[in-house]
Amino acid sequence: MTRALGTAMIVVDMQYDFMDGTLAVPDAHAVVEPIAALASAVEHVVLTRDYHPADHVSFSDNPQFVDKSWPVHCVGGTEGAMIHPMLSRLFDGAPMFSKGTDPNAEAYSGFEGTSLVDGERVTLGDYLHDRNVTRVLIVGLATDYCVKATAIDSISIHDFDTTVIADAVRGVNPVTTLIAAGEMTDHGVWIASSETALRVGI
Ligand code: ZN
């Protein structure tokens, strides 16, 4: 398969806690196969991760599973914060952008993340622009929070041609997931199946 030049796949928060841990997203395992299939079709793959301090502002003792009321999840250095073993080997060595590291601030968008690349701390946006990326595919978890925020920043702030891959994302809640799809579409984000994305050459 030829790789689509100028296209990057952003793999959002495919971490243990969102797959099987404290904040497991329903049906999350279903996204692994389409993500793996797309990986060989794009020029660049980058990962984001939620990477919180133990006293992060979003944590609640009585979590409501809505914005600002989550169970403890993805604490930096713990197993829950690691990329799930189903994907970690495939993406070994891919640049990893960490977000949510400030104890007092929530960060859903991967574009709020930074990574150490060749000894220098860079933002996700700069990393992609520096590599002449023009088109972005977004996959991962969860559709109604971090996928949505990443997709909207991708098109609104960075002007990337942005597609969310429907079968490679899952949401926390069906209602907010439906609303998220509308919000993303309103911003000009495409939502397409991985089959369509691969067929049209991404
Ligand atoms: Zn979080």
> Which residue, among 39, 41, 34, has the nearest Cα to 193 in the 3D structure?
34
Task: State in Å: Cα 121 to ligand 1 middle.
Answer: 21
Answer yes or no: are the C-beta atoms of 190 and 164 closer than 8 Å: yes
Averaged pLDDT, 151-170: 98
Task: State in Å: Cα 157 to ligand 1 middle.
Answer: 22
* 135-141/120-123 β-pairing: unpaired
| DSSP 8-state secondary structure symbol assigned to residue 24 | P
Residue 160: pLDDT band with limits 50, 70, 90: very high
Task: State in Å: Cα 3 to ligand 1 middle.
Answer: 32
Going along the chain, which residue ranges are E strands? 4-12, 42-50, 96-99, 114-117, 120-123, 135-141, 161-170, 190-192
Starting at the edge strand found earlier in the chain, the sheet holding 161-170 runs 120-123, 114-117, 96-99, 42-50, 4-12, 135-141, 161-170, 190-192
Bridge partners, residue 12, by sequence: 48, 140
By three-state DSSP, how is residue 52 classified? strand
Q: Note the Cα 108 to chain centre separation in Å.
A: 9
Task: State in Å: Cα 18 to ligand 1 middle.
Answer: 10
* Tokens describing residue 117: 């690349």
Task: State in Å: Cα 91 to ligand 1 middle.
Answer: 21
pLDDT tens-digit map of 99-148: 999 999 999 999 999 999 999 999 999 999 999 999 999 999 999 999 99
* 114-117/120-123 β-pairing: antiparallel
Residue 3: pLDDT band with limits 50, 70, 90: confident
pLDDT tens-digit map of 20-66: 999 999 999 999 999 999 999 999 999 999 999 999 999 999 999 99
* Tokens describing residue 41: 């079709």
* Tokens describing residue 62: 């009585």
Catalytic residues: 13, 99, 146
Dihedral sign (CA 89, 169, 74, 183): positive
Model confidence at 94: pLDDT above 60:
yes
Answer yes or no: are the C-beta atoms of 192 and 165 closer than 8 Å: yes
In the chain, the amino acid numbered 144 is: D
* Tokens describing residue 166: 């429907």
| pLDDT of amino acid 1 | 57
